[in-house]
Amino acid sequence: MPMLNQTPDPKAIRNDSDPSLRSGFQKARNLFSTDHKIIGRQYFFLSLAAVLVGAWLSLLMRIHLVWPKAIILFLGEIKPENYLAQLTMHGTLMVFFVLSTVPQAGFGTFFLPLQLGARNMAFPRLAAVGFWTALTSFLVLMAAFFVPGGAPGAGWTQYPPLSALASAGPGQGLGTDLWLVSIGLFCLSSLMSAAGFVATTVSHRAPGMTWMRMPLTCWSWFVTSILILLAFGILLAAVVLLMLDRHAGTSFFLPGGLLISGRAIAHSGGSPLLWQHLFWFFGHPEVYIAVLPAMGVTSHLLSVFARKPVFGYKAMVGATLAIGALGFMVWGHHMFVSGMNPYAGFAFSTLTTAIAVPSAIKTFNWVATLYGGRIRYATPLLFSAGFVSLFITGGLTGPILAQPALDTYLHDTYFVVAHFHLIMAMAGLFAIFSATHFWFPRMFGRMMNERLGRLHFWITLFGAYAIFVPMHLLGIAGHPRRYSDLSGVQYVAAMAPLQKFITLAAIVTIAGQLIFLANLFWSMRRGPAAETNPWECGTLEWTPASYATKEGPGEWRPQVNHGPYEYNVPGAENDFIMQDAPAS
Residues 6+ apart with CB under 8 A from 498: 470, 473, 474
Helix, strand, or coil here: 351? helix
**DSSP string across 360-392:** HHHHHHHHHHHTT------HHHHHHHHHHHHHH
Cα–Cα distance, 473 to 456 (Å, whole number): 27
Residue 179 Cβ vs another protein, minimum distance, rounded to whole Å: 20
Interaction between residue 203 and another protein (CB under 8 A): yes
Q: Which of 107, 219, 232, 420 lies at the binding interface for another protein (CB under 8 A)? A: 232
Q: Which of 62, 51, 67 is nearest to 87 (CA)?
A: 62
CA distances to 117, 432, 560, 562 from 209, in Å? 8, 26, 6, 8
Residues 6+ apart with CB under 8 A from 473: 498
b/e burial code for range 20-48 (CB count within 10 A of at least 16 → b):
ebeeeeeeeebeebbbbbbbbbbbbebbb
Q: Which of 248, 259, 405, 583 lies at the binding interface for another protein (CB under 8 A)? A: 248
CB-nearer residue toward another protein: 399 or 554: 554
Q: Which of 60, 141, 183, 191 lies at the binding interface for another protein (CB under 8 A)? A: 191
CA distances to 339, 397, 400, 409, 483 from 406, in Å? 15, 11, 7, 5, 22
Task: Tell me the per-residue interface mask from 16 to 45 with another protein, x by CB under 8 A, - otherwise.
Answer: ------------------xx----------
b/e burial code for range 197-233 (CB count within 10 A of at least 16 → b):
bbebbeebbbeebeeebbbbbbbbbbbbbbbbebbbe
CB-nearer residue toward another protein: 204 or 479: 204
ω into residue 161 within 30 of 0, thus cis? yes
Helix, strand, or coil here: 529? strand
Task: Tell me the per-residue interface mask from 520 to 559 with another protein, x by CB under 8 A, - otherwise.
Answer: -------------------------------xxx-x-x--
Cα–Cα distance, 338 to 346 (Å, whole number): 14
CA distances to 156, 505, 508 from 484, in Å? 16, 19, 22
CA Rg value for the chain: 24
Stretch that binds another protein, among 14-22, 206-214, 215-223, 286-294 (CB under 8 A): 206-214
Residues 6+ apart with CB under 8 A from 567: 303, 304, 306, 307, 308, 309, 538, 575, 576
Interaction between residue 420 and another protein (CB under 8 A): no
Residue 20 Cβ vs another protein, minimum distance, rounded to whole Å: 15
Residue 467 Cβ vs another protein, minimum distance, rounded to whole Å: 37
Residues 6+ apart with CB under 8 A from 313: 212, 216, 563, 565
Q: Which of 278, 290, 294, 435 lies at the binding interface for another protein (CB under 8 A)? A: 278
CB-nearer residue toward another protein: 213 or 333: 213
Q: Which of 4, 7, 31, 249 lies at the binding interface for another protein (CB under 8 A)? A: 249
Task: Tell me the per-residue interface mask from 149 to 188 with another protein, x by CB under 8 A, - otherwise.
Answer: ----------------------------------------
CB-nearer residue toward another protein: 27 or 557: 557
Q: Which of 61, 87, 140, 236 lies at the binding interface for another protein (CB under 8 A)? A: 236
Interaction between residue 584 and another protein (CB under 8 A): no
Interaction between residue 241 and another protein (CB under 8 A): yes
Residue 248 Cβ vs another protein, minimum distance, rounded to whole Å: 6
* DSSP 8-state secondary structure symbol assigned to residue 172: G
Residue 117 Cβ vs another protein, minimum distance, rounded to whole Å: 8
CB-nearer residue toward another protein: 278 or 506: 278
Phi and psi at 477, nearest 5°, equal: -75, -5
CB-nearer residue toward another protein: 269 or 318: 269
Q: How many residues belong to the site for another protein (CB under 8 A)?
A: 57
Cβ–Cβ under 8 Å, residues 522 and 449: yes
Interaction between residue 340 and another protein (CB under 8 A): no
Stretch that binds another protein, among 244-252, 339-347, 482-490, 507-515 (CB under 8 A): 244-252
Residue 244 Cβ vs another protein, minimum distance, rounded to whole Å: 7
Residue 246 Cβ vs another protein, minimum distance, rounded to whole Å: 12
Residue 341 Cβ vs another protein, minimum distance, rounded to whole Å: 14
Of 110-129, binders to another protein (CB under 8 A) are: 117-120, 122-126
Interacting residues with another protein (CB under 8 A): 34-35, 117-120, 122-126, 191, 194-196, 198-199, 202-210, 213, 229-234, 236-238, 240-241, 244, 248-252, 268-271, 274, 278, 281, 551-553, 555, 557, 560
